[in-house]
Structure 1
Amino acid sequence: MVGICLALALPVHAQQQLHSPTTEARREVPLPGETGADGIRTEETLIVTGDQPGPGLWLVRKGGHDLWILGTLNPLPAKMQWQSKQVEDVIANAQEVIRPPSVSLGVKAGFFKSLTLLPSLLGVRKNPDGKTLEQSVSPQSYARWKALKARYIGNDRGIEKWRPMFAALELYSDAMKKSGLESGKSVWPTINKAIETHHPNVTVVNEAIVVTDPKPLLKEFKRTTLDDLACFDNTMTRIETDLDAMRLRANAWATGDIAALQSLPPPYQWEACSGAITEAGIGKRLGFGDAQKKIQAKWMAAAEAALDKNVVTFATLSIGDMLGADGYLAKLKAKGYTVLAPDE
């Protein structure tokens, strides 16, 4: 089976939501590095570079059996090289590594047949009714878009024909690059190297949605008007108001400052963007909502099974999924397991 990602680079699991300031408040807040109406210049937080230890590991314990969990974060400093002896030492002694939970959307088709779908996949980015961004969003939103586009993307006329959600994600990616951050920077090369060296069992926690005939699906998606205006506006809000907090969070993760990670506002969530897909008719028909519930239950089952049979297990979870009142650590603690933070 050849898997083609129809989604859209959106996290599956929801994180805690930050309340968006009003439009008037947004306009009054200068971007980092700019001078506001009061004449005060805001300064950008410098991004750490070079070798960094990353955060310590959370520990879930059942008797003499330990589950060590690395909390991951996105974005991270672009020029950071993650070095974590603790992770390598844990994997060296682990009987099992549990990969982070994921929901995948794949196409069951032959290789050559899959290649013929690529033009159609590219076409889903465009508005189905031929409208431009200026015609698709409010005048206030488009004015914000023009300012941010000029700052981070430049003169790209093609993007003006994209659906608001896809345009927002492109803006976000470019804003990260110009801010010294990298969206999608992965800890997995280091982890995979340790796995290849020490050969623990690897458990993949995945819920697969397989499309056997993708052509009708692509046609339907192209015709579908998505409720993605909230995604468009919320992404711009994050870039306008949260870049410095993202830098602080990225630095805290890189340097292993757990207290700072826990004291900073929670990471922005992508519910509005993922909801534009999963809550649309096509998303419900494919079963995205059910898949998310299933994957959470699958990860909990994998963690509990590992704590029953292994002396040492290693896992990774996004910090947004791991912490909080509804996070995985709270669920494990509610089941009676001992949960210790890195500094405890």
Structure 2
Amino acid sequence: MSRFVFGVVASLVLAWNVPAVAVEPTAPADTASLDTIVVTGEQPGPGLWKVSKGDHAMWVLGTLSPLPKRFEWRAAEVAWRIAESQEVLLAPHVKMEPDTGFFGQLALLPSLIGIRDNPDGAKLADVLPADLYAQWSTLKQRYIGRSGKVEKWRPIFAARELYVAAIGSAGLAEKPIVADAVRKAAKKAGVPLRPVVLEIGIEAPKALLKDFKKAALDDQACFRATLERVDTDLARMTARANAWATGDLGALRALPHVDEEGPCRDAILKLSLAREHGLDGIEAKVRKAWLDAATDVLDRDTTSFAILPMRLVVDADGYLAALRARGYSIEAPDDGAGDVAE
């Protein structure tokens, strides 16, 4: 992700790096045996899914975040498939309108000051249950250190700070490795990129920011989920990152692909001001926009290429499963074994 739903949140609050995390299912008994050594050096990455109907085919790359900090993606197959394509379909994202641009954001800086802070000067110790704050204090000391500024932040922003610090300590990072490589390959081959953009109109962004600063944000579920993931699932995240980098689809399938943004996204989207600005039902709108664009590309182009978050590629209710429901054949990189669930 970069992750498309959190483009909505970034647009809503005009902040950068809102959390995209949640608790995954309880680890199986053999989780302790997972290799937590992060891979480095040149790695192949995962294979490509094939979506087809007749003689038209779209090659789909599933993306993942976080990935190992220090590895080099050997993207030869991706570059080759892009070069033979008529079009590259990008992952969907949401855009705020009007687009204020750099100078517009400068004008909003006075409103941005304090947007991360709890209303009325409250600290995390004031707004969190004692047990949750105790867990936070332990993890904060381990991954962030003695910084006091984060204690003034709303839980959703403090959670993000902890998450980034924790994955960094594990040798992982959120970097646009895949998107950058795909854009570079498309530019080199002269293949046009097709964005999938859902525009959300914000008539008065300054007023929205002012309202957000005062809003009661029910983000304790997000905070708790993030802490649980940091506390128990760093090994699982590392295993998934390694599996993506090395192209181990069996391991990727064995590790759950869940909606990692859920609690944190919901904390924002449940606000009345989010509904007032057309953000309710945003996931269904984004899903439809991408599926309609993919259908159009598949019908028009003999060969095309697309990127999507891995969860939306492999899940039984993901985007490729929806394309199958529209009559397209779906073939996994390993010849259909463990293909997208029916």
- TM surpasses 0.5: yes
| Aligned-pair CA distance for 1:322 | 1.9
State the match for 1:25 in structure 2.
none
Cα deviation for residue 8 of structure 1 reads: 5.0
Report what 2:222 is aligned to: 231
Task: Compute the displacement of 1:113 (Å).
Answer: 4.3
Q: Secondary structure at the match of 1:100?
A: strand
Preserved CA contact (<8 Å) 2:22 2:229: no
Please give the alpha-carbon distance, in whole angstroms, between the structure 2 residues aligned to 1:332 and 1:252: 25
- The answer to whether the 8 Å contact 2:88/2:191 transfers is yes
1:322 equivalent to 2:318? Answer no
Answer yes or no: is 1:247 the counterpart of 2:238: yes
Matched, 1:150 2:156: no
Pair 1:339 & 2:324 matched? no
- Check whether the contact 1:53–1:255 (CA below 8 A) recurs between aligned residues: yes
Residue from 24, 31, 47 that aligns with 1:18: 24
Question: CA 1:11/1:334 → structure 2, altered by over 3 Å: closer, same or farther?
Answer: farther
1:173 and 2:164 matched:
yes
Partner SS, residue 160 of structure 1: helix
Q: TM-score, normalising length from structure 1?
A: 0.87
- Which residue does the alignment assign to 1:261? 252
Partner of 2:3: none
Which amino acid in the other structure matches residue 283 of structure 2? Answer: Q
Question: Is the 1:238–1:268 Cα contact (8 Å) retained in structure 2?
Answer: no
Cα contact 1:108–1:213 (8 A) shared by 2: no
Aligned to 1:9: 17
Given the alignment of the two structures, is residue 275 of structure 1 paired with residue 281 of structure 2, yes or no?
Answer: no
Please name the residue that 1:312 is paired with. 303
Residues matched between the structures, number:
322
State the match for 2:48 in structure 1. 57
CA distance in 1, matches of 2:223, 2:19: 16
The SS at the match of 1:9 is: coil
Q: Does residue 115 of the first structure (1) align with residue 106 of the second (2)?
A: yes
Counterpart in 2 of 1:45?
36
Provide Cα deviations, 1:48-69, integer angstroms capped at 9, x if missing partner. Answer: 0111110000000111111000
Deviation string for 1:284-337 (max 9, x for gaps)?
111122332222111111111111111110000001122212101111111221
> Contact 2:88–2:193 (CA<8 Å) still a contact in 1?
yes
Deviation, 1:265, is 2.4
Is 1:299 aligned to residue 295 of structure 2? no
Query: Aligned with 1:102: secondary structure?
Result: strand
CA shift digits 1:221-257 (9 cap, x unpaired): 0000101000000000001111101011000000000
Residue 105 of structure 1: CA displacement? 2.9
SS state of the match for residue 334, structure 2? coil
Structure 1 residues 9 and 113 mapped into 2: Cα distance closer, same or farther (>3 Å)? closer
Secondary structure of the structure 2 residue equivalent to 1:67: strand
- 1:177-206 C-alpha deviation (Å, 9 max, x unpaired): 111000244312211111111122221101
TM-score by length of 2: 0.88
Cα distance, 1:211 vs. partner? 2.1
1:200-239 aligned at under 5 Å gives the runs 200-239=191-230
Aligned match of 1:36: none
Change in CA separation of 1:134 and 1:44 when aligned onto 2, cut-off 3 Å: farther
Q: Which sections of structure 1, spanning at least 5 residues, go unmatched?
A: 22-28, 33-41
Q: CA deviation at 1:128?
A: 1.2
SS at match of 1:294: helix
What amino acid does structure 2 have at the position aligned with 1:294? K
Give 1:187's aligned residue: 178
String of CA shifts for 1:123-148, please: whole Å, max 9, x gaps: 21000121100011000000100000
CA contact (8 A) 2:97 2:202 kept: yes
Query: Partner of 2:136: helix, strand, or coil?
Result: helix
1:255 maps to amino acid: T
Unaligned runs of 5+ in 2: 1-9, 336-342
CA RMSD of aligned residues (A): 2.4
TM-superposed CA distance for 1:91, in Å, is 0.5
Counterpart pick for 1:82 among 66, 73, 77? 73
Q: Distance in 1 between matches of 2:101 and 2:62?
A: 37
Per the TM alignment, residue 263 of structure 1 is displaced from its structure 2 partner at its CA by 1.1
Cα separation, 2, equivalents of 1:306 and 1:215 = 38
State the identity %.
43
Aligned position for 2:129: 138
Quick one: structure 1 residues 204 and 221, their matched pair in 2 at CA, closer, same or farther if it must change by over 3 Å? Answer: same
